[in-house]
Amino acid sequence: MQESLLLLGDGWRVGGHAPEGDGLHRLAAELGVTDSELAATVAGAVDARAGSEPSRIVIPLASGPVTVVVCRLPGARRGPGAPSDEERFFEAGLRLGAAGGGRAQLWFSGRAAADVALGELPGPLRDALWSGAWLATQRPAAALDEDLMPVFGDGVAQSSPAVFRARARGWVRELTERPANLLGPQELGDEIARLAEAHGKGVTVELWSADDASERGFGALVAVGAGSSRQPIVVRLRWSAAGQGGPTLGVVGKGVTFDSGGLNVKKDPGELAWMKSDMASAATVAAALVLASRLGKPGAPVEAILPLCDNAVSGSSVRPGDVVTHPDGRTTEVVDTDCEGRLVIADGLAWLRAEGAAALLDLGTLTDGGAGLRAAGLWSNDALLASRLQAVGGGVADPLWPIPLPYGEEVVLESRVADAKNAPLDRPDLGRHAAGFLAEFVGEVPWAHLDIGGVAYLEAPIAGWPEGPTGAATLAVAAAIGEWAAGSLR
């Protein structure tokens, strides 16, 4: 018998009989005990634990003892930014899956929402619970194990979109956790190419060498990567209907496979230790584009530029005070070599804008994200685009939180020797400064910047996630790409 994971929603009952469709009733029948016996055992376990932490209980049966992992659904919160029902069920799945011992059956008892009957679990909440439970079984730097894919006790098969989404997020987590000595720019580019070629439907891929990138004007990328023995490269992905032109969405993802800070070497060893994760945005964009191609039909073109490099320390490292030139001819004075992410993103944005992109989106692990550890910070020069992105992220339980651009603060990035400097020197560098720097490269083109630095890699457990990578923003970006292709994001 598979191990059982039981989630208790609001209104589950300790006494009497549960409705026939209720998970506790079904689980009791499978175990050969009464509803009241199982409910009493479960109540004793969860009442002894605080909040939504899971408990393992042993049910003695004639055939031998069986284990049930049980926890309560995290409580609902109120106010702006409060977790949605999908996020609460996803968190519960993470907690249950992590406490389980292998492939498991999922059961739900109680009420998922006020307007839902006892024991019923709507499709989006079912997907969220199932995805969390499977992702929680993933081992660090390893792929999701298909043999540990959970099943629902009611026998209803899991939806294909949920499977695709979990695999995409799992792929990002796997690569983000991979040690930097095993994943340099070339290796990351090869992994992205393999993903696109094996699973992308209609997705084409190109890998540009450092010389190719230099010829296209990616001066910041070449400068940032100059300190490493591992050459920078650029991955270019495209997805569109065959022969279709029209407005293109350009997407840029920062892919720094290790960020030492350069000559402004990072002072905090606790931060430096996990800088292998600074390529998470490139992996996120690649997985999102491939996922969108699996879930939807090609339409309006989407093009992704992923600048990949190492930010290392050597005699050839870019120096504070150096000036770099971007594809559009704009120049930047590098005053802080640890603010390299915005430099390589700027190259991608400038190139895509020159190519005629109708809208632009970029992702980077640049700062703490500005919106906490559960939502990615979102800056935009277009209120409608920002609103649409927030909506699509919320629809897939991958939250984004809009933050105003720092209008009027341009003076802090003024340079005497270039069009701008890459960071302020008279105050702490924050997410809004990175966003303000990037805004100058997009002009009037509708654009949004996502800083996933707070959510892509966690330094401590939170909301069911363990320490480490989360794959955050993968589903939000995939949904945005899908809507652009369908013509509904614009």
Catalytic residues: 266, 342
* Cross-strand bridge partners of residue 69: 5, 56
| Ranges of H-type helices in 315-430 | 341-354, 383-395
- Tell which phi-psi region holds residue 294, choosing left (phi > 0), alpha (psi between -120 and 50) or beta: alpha
- Of the CA atoms within 13 Å of residue 150, those in its CB half-sphere come to 34
Task: Tell me the two tokens of residue 36.
Answer: 């009241």
Separation of alpha carbons 80 and 69, rounded Å: 32
**C-alpha distances out from residue 348 to 37, 196, 341, Å:** 62, 19, 11
Smallest CA-to-CA distance from 466 within 73, 25, 136 is with 136
| H or E segment to which residue 281 belongs | helix 280-295
For the chain, how big is the Rg over CA atoms in Å? 24
C-beta contacts of 201-204 below 8 A and 24+ residues apart: 201/293, 201/294, 201/298, 202/239, 202/240, 202/241, 202/242, 202/293, 202/298, 203/237, 203/238, 203/239, 203/289, 203/290, 203/293, 204/237, 204/238, 204/239
Task: Tell me the two tokens of residue 49.
Answer: 């634990």
Residue 157 buriedness (CB in 10 A; 0-12 / 13-18 / 19+): exposed
Separation of alpha carbons 254 and 282, rounded Å: 5
Task: Tell me the two tokens of residue 178.
Answer: 């991979």
Smallest CA-to-CA distance from 168 within 378, 478, 437 is with 478
**C-alpha distances out from residue 485 to 17, 85, 240, 393, 437, Å:** 49, 28, 7, 16, 28
Give helix 280-295 / helix 474-486 axis angle, nearest 10°.
Answer: 50
**Beta-strand runs (E) in 110-216:** 151-152, 203-208
Separation of alpha carbons 283 and 257, rounded Å: 10
Q: Three-class SS of residue 481?
A: helix
